[in-house]
Structure 1
C-alpha cells in the first residue's frame, strides 16, 4: 500500500497541555477515505490540522511522499495539492454560493460541483452564510471536487446533512482519486461494510491512537 502523507511520532501542545501523544498516522494514496474516529477532545481535529500545517508540531514529523514537510507553511502545502476543509468557517459567508464555487475552481468552471450536489444549483444566488448547516457542508466539500487536490482533509464532512446527503458525500470523496482523511465522531453509515478498497480507521482517545485497522474490525460504543 502506497502512503501519500503521514504523521510520524507527532506531538502537539496547546500551552502546557499535550493534545497528541506521539501519534503515527499513515494515509494511503487514493482509494477509500481514511476515517479518524473519536469524540470531542480525542485529538482527531488536531491530527487533521497537523497534517494541514495549521498547528505546529512540538515533536515528530509530517512526511509527504517521502519528503519532510513539517516546517512547510499551510499555504505552501495548499499549493502542493493539499485541501483542508475545517468543521467551521469552511465557506465565505458574505459571498454567494456561485462566487464560492468560482473561487474554488482553478478555471471558473464549477459544473462538477453541481453534478455532485444537484441541490446546490437552486442555491447559487444565495449568500453562503444564509444556508443551513448541511447545505454549507455540501458547499465546503464541493471545494474538494473542484481543486483536483492530491490530499483532502475534511473535519466532519456530513455534519447537518440528511442520511442521503451523507451517503452521497462519502461516495464523492471515495472517487476523487486523492488521499482523503475524514474526522468523525461516529462511524459513517455504510462505510463499515466497504471492502473494495476497505476503509481504514484510526480511533483516537485523549490524544493517542487506540485502534488502527479496517472498519469491519472496529469494535466500540454505540454508533461505532
Structure 2
C-alpha cells in the first residue's frame, strides 16, 4: 500500500474515532437544559419528601405534647383550687410554689405546641405548593425528555454507521497497516493523526522544520512531528467531507 493510501486510511480512522467519541458523548450526556429541568424536578421531589417527613415528625411531637399540656392544665386547676382552700401562710407558700412550677412547665409546653401548629401550617402550605407541578413545567420537561430520546436514537444510529465505516477502513488497511496504527494510537490517543496548522503541528503547536513541512505536503512517506511524534498530514490535501 502506498504511503498516501495508508495516510488516507489513518486520517479516516482518526476522523471516524473522533466522530464515534462525539456520538457517544451525545448519546450519554443529556443536554444542559434537560439536566437543569431534571435537577429542578429532583430538588422539588427532595423538598417534598423532606416536608412530609417534617410534618410526620411535628405531628408525632404534637401527639405526645398535647396530653402533657392537658395534664398540666388539670394539675394547675388542682393547685388553684387548693390555693383557695389553704388556712395558713405555710400551706399557701407551698401551694404557690407548686403552682408556679406547674405554670412554668405549662407555658413552655404551650409555647412549643403553638410553634408546632404554626410550623405545621407552613409545612402543609409547602407540601401543597411542591406537590403541584404546573402544566407548563411538566410539558417543558416532557418535551425535553422526548427531544433527547430522539437525539439518543439518532446518535445510536450514527454509531452503527461509524462502526461499519471503521470496519471497512480497517479491512482496506489490512493487518500490517492496522498494527502500525494501533501502535501509534496506543501512545498518542485520542489524537494520533493530526493536520498541520500552517507550518506548525496542530496538536503540540510546535513549529515544524521547513523540510518536514515540504515532506508532509508531498506525502510520499509518512511523516511525524519531531516534538510530539504524531502523524502529520496536509489538511489542504485531505479535506474532511461535509
* TM-score, length of structure 1 as denominator length: 0.20
* TM-score, length of structure 2 as denominator length: 0.19
Higher strand fraction (1 or 2): 1
